[in-house]
Amino acid sequence: MTLKDSADAVLAGLGGIRSDLEDVYKDLHAHPELGHQEHRTATRVAERLRNCGYRVQEGIGGTGVVGVLANGEGPAVLLRAEMDALPVLEETGLPYASTAEATDASGRRVPVAHACGHDMHVTCLLGAARLMAAATAAWKGTLVALFQPAEEPGDGADRMLTDGLTDRVPHPDVAFAQHVLPYPAGQVGTRAGSFLSAADNLKITVHGRGAHGSAPQAAIDPVVLASMIVVRLQTIVSRELAAAQPVVVTVGSVQAGTSGNVIPESAELLVNVRTYDDETRRTVLAAVRRIVNAECDASGATREPQIEEGTRFPLTVNDDVVTRDVSAAFTAMFGERAATIEVQSASEDFSRIPDAFGTPYTYWALGCIDPDVYQASRERGTVAQEIPVNHSPRFAPVLQPTLDTGVQALVTAALAHLGKPGRMSP
């Protein structure tokens, strides 16, 4: 049986479950949950996996769920989807838009929305898991369906691993994940090697001397100091790195003072650094520290700055051989809709899971924007201005063909590595 035969056999059932999967997606979209709070989502995932015959473990790392389906001798394939949403007020206007609120980790009441597409990832994996369970004659091996909590805060994978994930599921021979991105729906994009950036988050506190706003001579103004740091940090990319070196340095937050006529004692900056190799990462982080310290010296700061390291996302480096095999399988399945994609400056914690197993992996992009809308915007030259990106309050994948394509991609990648002897050629 060829890969095409296996895929045809498994995906023959997609039409019969499409409507149900669309309902699942709409339900998940309307009921988003923040990281480590995915109790409703996890319960529904576990129930559906059990109904398909999977051996299910719940509560791994808090709210993580894993379903295992053993189907004879053969390799083990791990498919992963993340479940959490974002503290974003949805503005999509969809009939199933979220109106949810939740209390975040700091105790604040915030709006919640699936503004990154994790609801689509969960639905696609549930669909793939269901189809694979219904067509076990088409493949041999073990399928591990992993639903991870808290990708957004960056510690969901680590918590599952700390909770003994590597001892609780079969050792996978290969691992896969996908993510919706603002490209035309129906497209899938693969890339060997570095694909998603590493990300370092820093909290920087600089100290001045407070005074009345009418007496700046009596102060060391931390607002001016912070402003100089913001401007100077932009020169790391523009003046210290080669033009072809992909690096992003973002100051996402500056907090200081409470009144217009009071010069405060200190200012706080939240900085995000994204890089694609360890050497560049070290260079950029060292430059950040150098600039912060130098600007504090230049301003006569009363104390040394505090530079605290926060969440770090690892580099996502797709295995060359695995990516080659998956790309070939995608080309056979999707034709011209499968292509090589450029490196992305987004970050993920998925790679921590296969790295902990010592397992090769590949991670691909799934287009999710209405193709006609995208093409019209492209012809106007306004894609960056008009097409909502992940984390935007206006971001939501078009339901179809995104859902079908995501299910097909997971099934195709899994079947490229699961099967009877002699079945692997497309």
E strands, 257-384, in order:
262-263, 266-275, 306-313, 316-318, 338-340, 361-369
C-alpha distances out from residue 272 to 43, 132, 151, 284, Å: 34, 40, 16, 11
Residue 114, annotated as binding a ligand: no
Residue 152, annotated as binding a ligand: yes
Q: Which residues neighbour 3 within 8 Å (Cβ) at sequence distance 6 or greater?
A: 329, 332, 412, 415, 416, 419, 423, 424, 425, 426
- In single-letter form, the type of residue at position 192 comes to A
- In single-letter form, the type of residue at position 211 comes to A
- Cis previous bond, 401, omega within 30: yes
Residue 391, annotated as binding a ligand: yes
- In single-letter form, the type of residue at position 114 comes to H
Output DSSP code: residue 217: G
C-alpha distances out from residue 375 to 47, 371, 385, 386, Å: 40, 6, 14, 11
Query: Could you tell me which residues are annotated as the binding site?
Result: 116, 118, 152, 179, 391
Query: Could you tell me which residues are annotated as the binding site for Mn(2+)?
Result: 116, 118, 152, 179, 391
